[in-house]
Structure 1
Amino acid sequence: MAYRNKTYVAFASEDINYYWMMTAWKKNQGIDFNFYDAHDINTALDTSQPETIRRRLSERLTNTKQCLVLVSDITKSKAARSNTFLYYEIEAINRRALPVVFVNLNKSRLVQTDKLPATLIEQYSISISFGPKIIMYALDNFPEDFVENERSGSKVGPYHYLDDVYKNLGLD
């Protein structure tokens, strides 16, 4: 079995500018943002056939420790359409029972169930606002909580961090 150490970022293609912003945060030396970019592994070209892209996505998800799902107004509907890659990604994340951090692009700190992919709505997950400090906090803390919850089974469905977490990170 391969060692899982990557963070996979899933998003609707219309939200790619937010993904690019995250990669800029990672490169910025003033921000300690440490995620492993699963999208850079075995790059699939836009001109690739859908089967090739799905195979490459599957390879990336095999080495994934946790997932970020960027959530916008179109995420739920696009994740429900079987002809999109987001649909395939969400289905694969669900099958693998990977820890999911939902990142609200509108910066809401609350769970926005009306925007979340239906396939993942019953899984224990965390919803956060879009920003480097809270994303880093979630990546550092949620997977361990997720694994512990897998043992105990005490939490089901989406959760969000309390305001104290944001305050302790200097995010008022």
Structure 2
Amino acid sequence: MDLRAIRTGPNPQYWIAPSKKYVAFGRYELKSFSYSKIWFFRNVGEMLMGLPRTFVGFSSTDIHYYRLMLAWKESEHIDFNFANCQLSQEIYSNDEAYIKRKCRERIDMAGTFAVLIGADTRSKHKYVRWEMEVALEKKCRIIGINLDGARSVVDDKCPPIIRNVGAMFVPFSPKIVAHALADWTKQPNNDWHYKDEIYKKLGYK
């Protein structure tokens, strides 16, 4: 398999290597030339559909945190990547039915629903709670991202709808969020959080 066959995207660390039966998509570290995070697909179309897809729900008051997540995604120094399923122009509409229809379309594309949990997320029912209902209906993985930095569920801030549904709770920090997106497997119930040794391995104190 010739790793020089095709380069993809502006970052040369990412490659696609075709073979007779499969396409491999992966990332390698330039210093050590060790391979990591390699996925195999039957063709490029399947590869594109197979990338991790995440819908991020958040209160409008916390949109700056979402924009910061996009900055993580673009950084070459952080191993953070997700296929974004967010709305674009639709968020400027005042038509609730239209917005919800478009949200459902995006959530239907996603396998993971990540919700930014801030001071008022718990009280946001019109869209944020509704998005969580759709994600649960679709059986998405649920990842709660605590904007206050807590490493586990925060009782007085977490929306009750994602309590005891197998959600993983992490603080708003790029390495642990990236780890959760790559690592977490949906569990049947309870509220979950990573143990301290996982944080230590990722460089946290």
For 1:43 and 1:124, locate their aligned partners in 2 and report how far apart those are by CA, in whole Å.
32
Contact 1:11–1:69 (CA<8 Å) still a contact in 2? Answer: yes
For 1:122 and 1:28, locate their aligned partners in 2 and report how far apart those are by CA, in whole Å.
34
Q: Once the 2 structures are TM-superposed, how far is the Cα of residue 87 of structure 1 from its aligned partner?
A: 2.2
1:49-72 residue CA offsets vs partner (Å, 9 max, x unmatched): 111111100100111111111011
**More helix by percentage:** 1
**More strand by percentage:** 2
Report matched runs for 1:13-32 at 5 Å: 13-32=60-79
Contact 1:65–1:99 (CA<8 Å) still a contact in 2? Answer: yes
Task: Give the residue type in structure 2 aligned to 1:159.
Answer: W
Contact 1:43–1:56 (CA<8 Å) still a contact in 2? Answer: no
Q: Please give the root-mean-square deviation of Cα atoms over the aligned residues, in Å.
A: 1.8
**Against the structure 1 CA distance between its residues 159 and 45, is the aligned structure 2 distance closer, same or farther, given a 3 Å change threshold?**
closer
Contact 1:90–1:120 (CA<8 Å) still a contact in 2? Answer: yes
Indicate the residue corresponding to 2:83 in structure 1: 36
Q: Once the 2 structures are TM-superposed, how far is the Cα of residue 132 of structure 1 from its aligned partner?
A: 0.7
Contact 2:129–2:161 (CA<8 Å) still a contact in 1? Answer: no
Task: Give the residue type in structure 1 aligned to 2:196.
Answer: D
For 2:123 and 2:196, locate their aligned partners in 1 and report how far apart those are by CA, in whole Å.
29
For 1:99 and 1:122, locate their aligned partners in 2 and report how far apart those are by CA, in whole Å.
13
Report matched runs for 1:119-134 at 5 Å: 119-134=161-176
**Aligned equivalent of 1:159, options 184, 187, 192:** 192
Higher RCO, 1 or 2 (CA under 8 Å, sep at least 6)? 1
Indicate the residue corresponding to 2:203 in structure 1: 170
Q: Once the 2 structures are TM-superposed, how far is the Cα of residue 122 of structure 1 from its aligned partner?
A: 2.3
| Runs (5+) with no aligned partner, structure 1 | none
1:125-159 residue CA offsets vs partner (Å, 9 max, x unmatched): 111011110000000011xx21xx4xxx5xx2211
TM-score by length of 2: 0.71
The aligned length equals 157
| 1:141 has 2:183 as partner | yes
- Asked which structure has the greater CA Rg, the reply is 2
1:61-118 residue CA offsets vs partner (Å, 9 max, x unmatched): 111111111011211111xx3xx21122111112112111110101111221321111
Ranges of 4+ aligned residues in structure 1 off by more than 2 Å: 2-5
Indicate the residue corresponding to 1:74 in structure 2: 120
Task: Give the residue type in structure 1 aligned to 2:198.
Answer: V
For 2:135 and 2:129, locate their aligned partners in 1 and report how far apart those are by CA, in whole Å.
10
The percentage of aligned residue pairs carrying the same residue is 31
Q: Once the 2 structures are TM-superposed, how far is the Cα of residue 163 of structure 1 from its aligned partner?
A: 0.7
Task: Give the residue type in structure 2 aligned to 1:169.
Answer: L
Task: Give the residue type in structure 1 aligned to 2:86.
Answer: H
For 1:25 and 1:74, locate their aligned partners in 2 and report how far apart those are by CA, in whole Å.
24
